[in-house]
Amino acid sequence: MEEFRFAPEYELPRWPFVPPPELRGGAVVRHPIVIVGAGPAGLTLACDLAKRGVRALLLDEDDTVGVRGASSRGICYAQKSLEIFERLGIYQRIADKGITWSFGRTFSGETEVYNFNLQANSVSAQPPFINLQQFYVEWFLVDRILELGGVELRWKNRVTHVEPGDDGVRVEVETPVGNYVIEAEWLIDATGANSPIRAQLGLEAHASRSTDRWCISDVRFKKPLPVERWTWVDAPFNDGRAVWQHLMADGVWRIDYQMPEDCDTAHISKPEVAGARLREQLGPGVEFEFVWIGPYGYRDHLLDRFRHGRLFFIGDSAHVVSPFGARGGNSGIQDAANLGWKLALVTEGRAGEALLDTYDAERRAAAVQNLQVTSRSARFLAPRTPAEHTMRRAVVALASRYPFARALVNTGRMSVANDYPGGPHLPEGGRSVQNLPLRWCDGQPCTLMQLLAEGTRCLGLWFAPTTEQVGAVADTVASLPLQLVAVGGDSGLPTLEPTEALAKHLGGGAAGSLCLVRPDGYRAALLRHPTPAGLAATIHAALAHDRSAA
């Protein structure tokens, strides 16, 4: 019998437990923002706040990142998340360590049904996707938080009970050397899919589980393969079931095998069983070694509300989707980016608390969209009725010849930045603006995210304004969290070189028009003829408060 080798385990970083000052007794300390959970969502929010100069406290029950045993878990980081990471200052580390890709192929049996290139419609400085093991991203975020300062990380601090109140949340914490109590003006639950806080409060998550079963094999091998996403709808080397194949950092391939619904999960994860599957795929002569093997069955859930008074749910504590198209971890990262700037403005007294309600309005709508997309993928990959099987066979057969059928082949629509619905604060709705490479008129390069990286303010990109127009709004702008930048013209403002790509992407370009971009990189409004009153009204609407709150 063939023996299968395992690669040496990863050396994950560990951070020391430091006894908190609250253990010495005295009055209960009140913290402005407390984040519970050091996963991708919690760490992104902590880093976002640190970058904005907002004090916060993060509590985590462990002293490391990832999962002990170093499974890959989330691996595909989408363009919007990568743009967020550029603003936070860790993108280059991710790009240097990870695997950049944009091209994917879908197969039925041995036949390529269709392919796609996600770079085709991109104008961002970031690629459509980078594959990287989740623990690396968490590691880089921790390093950046420590570098920025202002956010305290407490390891081996487990939250055991929360008590929401009208003006804050009482939090009970357990440590290796004793327990203590703190208060939080705002508490953020980023504890993941099995959130103990959500369970303690008895919040209905409307959870459902699929009977579909999968087995992940993280593996190194020497067979040269393209750096592309390959998907089989019905792989001949997996008994006609689906397979995904991705390359990650360190030369590790992540291969997901769809399994029979009634399988024994312990059996399918045995090295000899996983090795036989891999041997069927790679051929008899390919050397390989396992890094990690593990089964999973997907599930989903969705809270009715993501804000409960002074308590917010982000990432998997708020919503879980099937792992198709990388819409889980990326959505949590984008939750954090949505909430971070709003918490910053509210805690600094520059916006009213109504702004925080827009987090629920926008990110819950995004979660609903992602659930719809991933649910359709699940039905395509695991048809439940003879009619669904027949439909899938027909779609796959037609896809290689007819473009209309390719759109119906659903092996996981890849994650994109969700649009936000219209509302009082976003009359036109919100659309993510890609991180376009730009250039100042003196020739110095920059990007949109670099313009949004300092402080917490909206960005007004004003196409060829006149000196008179700029002068007319000067007093108004001075009282608003707004940075004005000209695109062309000679107005006296900091000025970018105009490009067709920028004008087309923002939906503007006509002389005098102004595109308002929020601190999270979403277009809030396009003003064709901005006036001082109109600009002020638009900013106040975007911040969900009236003039008296400014």
* 209 within 8 A of 322, measured Cβ to Cβ: no
Same domain as 224, residue 153: no
Q: What percent of the chain has pLDDT over 70?
A: 97
Last residue of a domain, one of 265, 297, 329: 297
Residue 289 belongs to a domain: yes
Q: Residue 122: CB partners within 8 Å, gap ≥ 6? A: 79, 102, 128, 434
* 360 within 8 A of 319, measured Cβ to Cβ: no
Residue 261 belongs to a domain: yes
Residue 399 belongs to a domain: no
Same domain as 351, residue 279: no
Same domain as 197, residue 236: no
What does the pLDDT look like over 303-323, one tens digit per residue? 999 999 999 999 999 999 888
* Token duo for residue 550: 């400014």
Same domain as 31, residue 157: yes
Q: Residues 423-438: what's their mean pLDDT? A: 94
What does the pLDDT look like over 46-103, one tens digit per residue? 999 999 999 999 999 999 998 765 677 789 999 999 999 999 999 999 999 999 999 9
| Nearest by Cα to 518 from 440, 462, 456 | 456
Same domain as 292, residue 322: no
| Nearest by Cα to 330 from 36, 128, 60, 41 | 41
Residue 448 belongs to a domain: yes
Same domain as 470, residue 525: yes
Residue 279 belongs to a domain: yes
Same domain as 256, residue 318: no
Last residue of a domain, one of 243, 278, 297: 297
Residue 387 belongs to a domain: no
Here the CATH number for the domain that contains residue 525 is 3.40.30.10
| Nearest by Cα to 318 from 422, 197, 432 | 197
* 550 within 8 A of 479, measured Cβ to Cβ: yes
Rounded-to-integer distance, Cα 161 and Cα 184, Å: 13
Q: What is the mean pLDDT of the chain?
A: 92
The total of structural domains in the chain comes to 3
What does the pLDDT look like over 141-158, one tens digit per residue? 999 999 999 999 999 999
| Nearest by Cα to 346 from 84, 149, 549, 519 | 549
- Residue 549: per-residue pLDDT: 38
Rounded-to-integer distance, Cα 236 and Cα 399, Å: 19
Same domain as 325, residue 285: no
Residue 225: CA count within 13 A, CB half-sphere: 20
Type of residue found at 184: A
Q: Which residue has the tokens 């303010």?
A: 457
The parent domain of residue 154 ranges over 21-95+133-205+300-378
Here the CATH number for the domain that contains residue 201 is 3.50.50.60
Residue 408 belongs to a domain: no
For 272, phi then psi, to 5°, come to -70, -30
Same domain as 75, residue 198: yes
Centre a 10 Å sphere on the Cβ of residue 402 and count the other Cβ atoms it contains: 13
* 225 within 8 A of 107, measured Cβ to Cβ: no
Where is average pLDDT lowest: 204-213, 256-265, 329-338, 433-442?
A: 204-213
Where is average pLDDT lowest: 134-138, 290-294, 353-357?
A: 290-294
Same domain as 347, residue 256: no
Residue 392 belongs to a domain: no
Where is average pLDDT lowest: 206-210, 251-255, 348-352, 441-445?
A: 206-210
Rounded-to-integer distance, Cα 484 and Cα 539, Å: 12
Same domain as 348, residue 222: no
* Token duo for residue 308: 């409960």
Type of residue found at 483: Q
Same domain as 310, residue 175: yes
- Residue 125: per-residue pLDDT: 96
